[in-house]
Amino acid sequence: MSTSTRKCRYCKGPVVGRKGKIFCSVECKSIYHYRLRAATFDTAIPIDKILHRNRSILLEIMGKNKSQKKVDKIEMDRKKFNYSYFTHSFTNSKGKVYYYLYDFAWMAFSDQEVLIIRKRSPAKDKPAFPTP
Element (H or E) spanning 26, and its range? helix 26-62
Contact 28, 50 (CB under 8 A): no
Query: Given this model, what pLDDT does residue 31 score?
Result: 95
Assessment of whether the complete model's pTM goes beyond 0.75: no
Query: Given this model, what pLDDT does residue 3 score?
Result: 45
Closest CA to 100 of 78, 66, 128: 128
Count other Cβ atoms within 10 Å, centred on residue 120.
Answer: 7
pLDDT, one tens digit for every residue, the chain (132 residues): 444 489 999 999 999 999 999 999 999 999 999 999 998 888 899 999 999 999 999 999 998 888 899 999 999 999 999 999 999 999 999 999 999 999 999 999 888 999 999 987 555 555 555 555
